[in-house]
Amino acid sequence: MVQYDMRYYSTRNKNEATGFSTAALTGLAPDGGLYIPEEIPQYSTAVRSSLGTMDYTDIAFETIYPWVKDDIPRPVLEEMVHSAYPFNAPLVVAGDRLVLELFHGPTAAFKDFGARFMARAFSYLRRAETKPLTILVATSGDTGGAVADGFFGVEGISVTVLYPKGRVSPLQERQIAGLKGNISALAVEGSFDDCQRLVKQAFGDADLKKRLCLASANSINISRLIPQAVYYAAAAGRAFAGQVDPDGEATPRRVQSGRGSAETRVPSGRGEGITFCVPSGNFGNLTAGLYAWKMGAPIEKFIAATNINKTVPDYLESGTYEARLSQATLSNAMDVGAPSNFERMAAHFSWEEMRRLVMGISINDDETSETISEVFTRWGYYLDPHSAVGWRAVDKFQKAGKTVIALTAHPAKFAETVEPLTGPVPVPPSLKKAMDRNIEARTIRAELEALKECL
Ligand SMILES: *Cc1c(COP(=O)(O)O)cnc(C)c1O
């Protein structure tokens, strides 16, 4: 048997361990569980104390390497993080808050961070394979675009994206169904939960298993989560050191920065453990944050901000986990009633431990719209509906000073919701390009047989 330094086992069976390569390429463990690390790597003291000053790609290397070192050699990983991250995650002051802008990648949502690393890792790990790989991915909106963009044109890999018909924005649909080539789009007559169920069923289907080499690219895939831990460590390091980045050009701000700074203290987390507020749906992003915390980044707590799909906030309150059907909201990428990464969180933390570390809060659509208008009127800063859920959630806690809000998407991506409240939102070039694409998608019933016919 191969010996791994870094072993991953199923959330449902501690005895069946494997290495990074298998965990990444299969996505789901054979027993239907999610892969989690046996032991979480720790930052060295030297790295931990320089998180505030290191380059993003250096933090990416130091964060990811211990998780993948059995399968990806140092120089290969160095090259991967450089080509994956020509953009980074600026920590900026917006009004009276510290925000982490995670939308500077090509599809303008945080999912680019995971998807771009994953595409490079898959391509490397399969360098000796001849059988083509089919990636199945269910999306509530943004995952599909990021995965499609990340894998577009990668030889030997095709991607099939399942999205809930009529429940993603027109721009998201163009990002998913506009690339064509090795990317196919399926519009499922149902909800995101249906899409997710179909993908799970496909993985359990013996006939498909024989016929195809299948992999998943959802946040059940550990190779997407690991690179997301990077921006938490980088932002916590900088906030802890009292440093913020200058506004990037793509920062959606109408007025010059500094407006309003006379009336409020510019926030800084200097010398304190940082609280991250994370707008959450499937809880991949939050789980990645928990990994950064476990690795030793200067993080104190998390706020899990959801829309009315509040399965996890309710669990944190009551100790009882009850999956539900999802309800449609303005923050559609978070319309998840049965968050798949909860299984990971519960494997790492008891209810009491989770409650000490994560505060849950649910925000409704009225509050979301109000927040978008108010923040724009007061600070000239544009929020997308998901980020607005995060902003509003922080209002309900007192410690705004050392809280960093993860902004998960660029507001132009959700213009149909944002613009009626703020007027026209400046559109970044990557989104302009996507808007010009024609879409090509097949509509299918939310049944395994219908999906199988398309594969
Ligand atoms: C995917 C997504 C979320 C939810 O992230 P999870 O990792 O599923 O919790 C929030 N906001 C946006 C814009 C997203 O695309």
Give the pLDDT band of residue 331 (cuts 50, 70, 90).
Answer: very high
Indicate the top mutation candidate among 99, 140, 142, 418 to test ligand 1's pocket, ranked by most ligand atoms within 8 A of CB. 142
Q: What is the pLDDT of residues 160-174, one digit of tens each?
A: 999 999 988 889 999
CA distance 299 to 273: 5
Assigned CATH class of 82-109+222-429: alpha beta
Give the pLDDT band of residue 251 (cuts 50, 70, 90).
Answer: low
Domain boundaries, the chain: 82-109+222-429
Is 70 exceeded by the pLDDT of residue 330? yes
Nearest CA to ligand 1 atom 2: 333
CA 49 to centroid of ligand 1, rounded, Å: 30
Is 90 exceeded by the pLDDT of residue 56? yes
Cβ atoms 164, 191 nearer than 8 A: yes
Per DSSP, 243 falls in state -
Give the pLDDT band of residue 261 (cuts 50, 70, 90).
Answer: very low
Give the pLDDT band of residue 254 (cuts 50, 70, 90).
Answer: low
**Cα first-last separation, the chain:** 34
User: What torsion do the CA atoms of 68, 74, 80, 85 make, to the nearest 10 degrees?
Assistant: 90
Q: At what angle do helices 111-125 and 142-151 cross, to 10 degrees?
A: 40
CA distance 393 to 405: 9
DSSP codes of every residue in 13-68? EEEEEE-HHHHHHH-B-TTS-BEEESS-----HHHHHHTTTS-HHHHHHHHHHHHH
Tokens of 268: 């800084």
Q: Please identify, by atom number, the ligand 1 atom nearest to the C-alpha of residue 336.
A: 8
Q: Taking CB atoms and a 6 Å cutoff, what residues make up the pocket around ligand 1?
A: 109, 111, 142, 219, 279-286, 333-334, 386, 408-409
Amino acid at 96: D
Per DSSP, 8 falls in state E
Indicate the top mutation candidate among 103, 280, 341 to test ligand 1's pocket, ranked by most ligand atoms within 8 A of CB. 280
For 6, what's the count of Cα atoms within 13 Å in the CB-facing half-sphere? 21
Tokens of 232: 């938490």
CA 211 to centroid of ligand 1, rounded, Å: 32
Residue-averaged pLDDT of the chain: 91
pTM of this prediction? 0.92
Is 80 exceeded by the pLDDT of residue 270? no
Tokens of 195: 């899409």
Q: Please identify, by atom number, the ligand 1 atom nearest to the C-alpha of residue 280.
A: 9
CA angle, 357 then 363 then 365, to 5°: 155
